[in-house]
Amino acid sequence: MMMSRINRHPSLLIAAALLAACLFFFVSSSSRSKTGPLSHTESVQPLSPSDDTNSCYVDLDLLRQYSTTSIEYGRLEIAVDQSDNFTGYTDTLNAGLPKFRRIPLDGDAQREDLPLERCTPAVTIKGPLPRPRPDASHLVFGVATSMERLLDSLDAFAHWAGGTNARILAVVDSGGSAKKEALARAEALGIRLIIREKEVEERLDRWFYLVRYLYELRDDKTQWTVLIDDDTFFPSMAKLVDRLATYDPAQPHYIGSMTEDLYQLYSGGLMAYGGAGIFLSLPLVKQLQPFFDECYVFKSGGDRMLAQCIYAHTNTKLTWERGLFQVDLRGDASGFYEAGREQPLSVHHWKSWFQADMVALSKVAGVAGEEALLHRWLLPGDWYLVNGFSVIQYATISDDPLPMEQTWDESKYTGPDPFTFSLGPLRRKDENKISYRLKTAVSERQRVRQIYVREVEPERLEVLEVVWSVASDNNAP
- Please report whether residue 325 resides in a domain: no
Query: Do 266 and 311 sit in the same domain of this protein?
Result: yes
- Please report whether residue 43 resides in a domain: no
Determine the Cα–Cα distance for residues 392 and 334; give it in Å rounded to an integer: 11
Query: Do 121 and 165 sit in the same domain of this protein?
Result: no
Residue 311's pLDDT is: 97
Q: Which residues of the chain register pLDDT less than 70?
A: 1-53, 199-204, 473-477
Helices (H), 398-449: 420-423
**Up-side HSE of residue 41: CA atoms within 13 Å toward CB?**
0
**Cα dihedral 341, 345, 349, 354 sign:** positive
Residue 18's pLDDT is: 46
Residue 204's pLDDT is: 60
The CATH number for 182's domain is 3.90.550.50
Close Cβ partners of 163 (under 8 Å, ≥ 6 residues apart) = 133, 190
Other beta carbons within 10 Å of 381: 8
Read off φ and ψ for residue 43, nearest 5 degrees: -130, 135
Q: Could you tell me which of 139, 156, 144, 155 has the C-alpha nearest to residue 196?
A: 144
Boundary of a domain, candidates 301, 320, 339: 320
Determine the Cα–Cα distance for residues 187 and 464; give it in Å rounded to an integer: 35
Query: Do 124 and 146 sit in the same domain of this protein?
Result: no
Largest CA distance in the chain: 110
Query: Do 115 and 204 sit in the same domain of this protein?
Result: no
Q: Could you tell me which of 331, 365, 364 has the C-alpha nearest to residue 349?
A: 331
- Please report whether residue 466 resides in a domain: yes
Residue 399's pLDDT is: 81
Query: Do 249 and 282 sit in the same domain of this protein?
Result: yes
Which amino acid does the sequence have at 247?
Y
Query: Do 72 and 123 sit in the same domain of this protein?
Result: yes
Determine the Cα–Cα distance for residues 361 and 440; give it in Å rounded to an integer: 8
Query: Do 305 and 450 sit in the same domain of this protein?
Result: no
Query: Do 91 and 149 sit in the same domain of this protein?
Result: no
Residue 2's pLDDT is: 37
* Total number of domains in the chain: 2
Determine the Cα–Cα distance for residues 71 and 281; give it in Å rounded to an integer: 53
Q: Could you tell me which of 167, 170, 274 has the C-alpha nearest to residue 222?
A: 167
Determine the Cα–Cα distance for residues 28 and 46; give it in Å rounded to an integer: 14
- Please report whether residue 392 resides in a domain: yes
- Please report whether residue 347 resides in a domain: no
Residue 39's pLDDT is: 32
Residue 23's pLDDT is: 42
Helices (H), 189-261: 203-216, 237-244
Residue 473's pLDDT is: 53
Summarised one tens digit per residue, pLDDT across range 114-155 is 888 888 999 999 999 999 999 999 999 999 999 999 999 999
Query: Do 315 and 406 sit in the same domain of this protein?
Result: no
- Please report whether residue 7 resides in a domain: no
Close Cβ partners of 331 (under 8 Å, ≥ 6 residues apart) = 353, 354, 407, 408, 409
Rounded to two decimals, the pTM is 0.87
- Please report whether residue 329 resides in a domain: no
> Which contiguous run of DSSP H or E holds residue 57?
strand 57-59
Boundary of a domain, candidates 299, 320, 341: 320
Query: Do 223 and 287 sit in the same domain of this protein?
Result: yes
Query: Do 295 and 427 sit in the same domain of this protein?
Result: no
Query: Do 147 and 126 sit in the same domain of this protein?
Result: no
Boundary of a domain, candidates 320, 355, 380: 320
- Please report whether residue 158 resides in a domain: yes
> Which structural domain, as residue segments, surrounds residue 277?
139-320
Q: Could you tell me which of 113, 102, 140 has the C-alpha nearest to residue 54?
A: 113
Q: Could you tell me which of 391, 388, 345 has the C-alpha nearest to residue 367?
A: 388
